[in-house]
Structure 1
Amino acid sequence: MQVHRTVIDGVVQFVPAPHADDDDFHTATLDAAIAAAHGVDTGRFVQDSQSRSVQGVIRGMHGRLGAGESKLVRCAHGAMHDIVIDARPGSPTFGRVASFLLDDTDMRQLYIPAGCLHGFQALTPTVDTCYRIDTPHDPSEDVSVRFDDPDLGIRWPLPVGTMSEKDLAAGSWTELCARLDVDPRRRTDALGLTSW
């Protein structure tokens, strides 16, 4: 299994090495020793979940306040355009937006630390997304930012499909920053330069 650091501090990609022949394949989707060597404590995961989405659907951008929620995300079927936003006030990459392709071909997984926002768009007719989370869900800590917030400038590859009422009613990046008591203009770009 290969491990890749990303442009957001603490966000890690795990890339398995499937063993395939003409009829099937087998791969390890998680290796606790490798994960631990890269700062991911797999023993903390308390819940596995799976969602199904149809092409064009956008889910996000979701996060949690308080202790937050770390998650390990993979696409079990299909392909998805995955987005992570660093919303941790003390992070050196605060405000940075990064995109990733997760699919059932290379089977990459993405570890997203607590305090980041996460969302995705389904790229194929059906997408099954699997999550491992390290904290029981507490709806009172949920936060969300609009998928089309102009300050974040997220580019979605497909026309926007179905969205939940909750996601359509999400607040802005500026409103979240006010809750976090952080200047929304303090963002770090992919080159590590802080802008105000």
Structure 2
Amino acid sequence: MHVETTSLAGVFVLRPELHRDPRGFFTRTFDAGVFDAQTGPDGVRTANFVQDSQSRSSKGVVRGMHGRAGRGEAKLVRCSRGAVYDVLVDIRAQSPTFGMTQAFILDDEGFRHLFVPPGFLHGFQVLSEFADVCYRIDREHDQAEDLAVAHDDPVLGIDWPLPVTLISERDAAAGSWAELLATLR
């Protein structure tokens, strides 16, 4: 498994090695030793993960932009089937990359995993006919800590690659980046 850094402080990509043969392929989708070595003794550890979740969405659907207040939420995200355009926004006020966004393609060909430390908004758009996205999360969900910013907020200026076909009622009611900034202060 290889580790790639990103332009966002604390975010990294795990790239599993695929071993192909006439039967198909084999890959290790997670390696605790590699993960723990990357996060270091004071970071999120493998043992901190308490929940695995999975979503399935169809082409053009956007889920996001979601985050958590309080201590935030670390997650390890991968697309187990299909392809998604995955976007992060740094909402950590003291971070050198505060307010910056970065997008990643996650798919079932490269099996890249995206580690998202606490303090980020996260969202994705499905690029394939449908996609399954898997999340490994370090905290139990507490609805009272949910944060959301509109996927089409003009200040964030996220350039979704496809026309948006569907968002949830919750995401349609999400506030602006400016409103989130006011709550973070």
| TM-score category of the 2 structures, normalised to the smaller one | over 0.9
Residues 62-118 of structure 1, C-alpha deviation per residue, up to 9 Å, x if partnerless? 000011110000000000000000001111100000000000000000000111000
One-letter code of the match for 2:81? H
Distance 2:86 2:135 in 1: 13
Note the residue ranges of structure 2 that are not aligned, 5 or more in a row.
Answer: none
Which of 53, 59, 64 lines up with 1:55 in the alignment?
59
- The residue type paired with residue 36 of structure 1 is D
CA distance in 2: counterparts of 1:165 and 1:59, whole angstroms: 11
Supply the distance in 2 between the matched residues of 1:150 and 1:31 (Cα, whole angstroms).
38
Q: Structure 2 length normalisation: TM-score?
A: 0.96
Take 2:20 and 2:151, find their aligned partners in 1: how far apart are those partners?
37
Q: TM (normalized to structure 1)?
A: 0.91
Give secondary structure in 1 for the equivalent of 2:182: helix
Counterpart of 1:119 in structure 2 is 123
The Cα offsets for residues 149-174 of structure 1, whole Å up to 9 and x where unpaired, read as 01011000000111100001000000
Identity of aligned residues (%): 55
Residue identity matched to 1:51: S
**Matched position secondary structure for 2:131:** strand
Matches within 5 A, 1:1-196: 1-39=1-39, 40-181=44-185
Deviation, structure 1 residue 23: 2.0
- Runs of 4+ residues deviating >3 angstroms: none
Unmatched segments (≥5 aa) in structure 1 = 182-196
| Alpha-carbon distance in structure 1 between the residues aligned to 2:81 and 2:13 | 18
In terms of mean alpha carbon deviation, does 131-140 or 22-31 score higher?
A: 22-31
Q: Give the CA RMSD over aligned residues.
A: 0.7
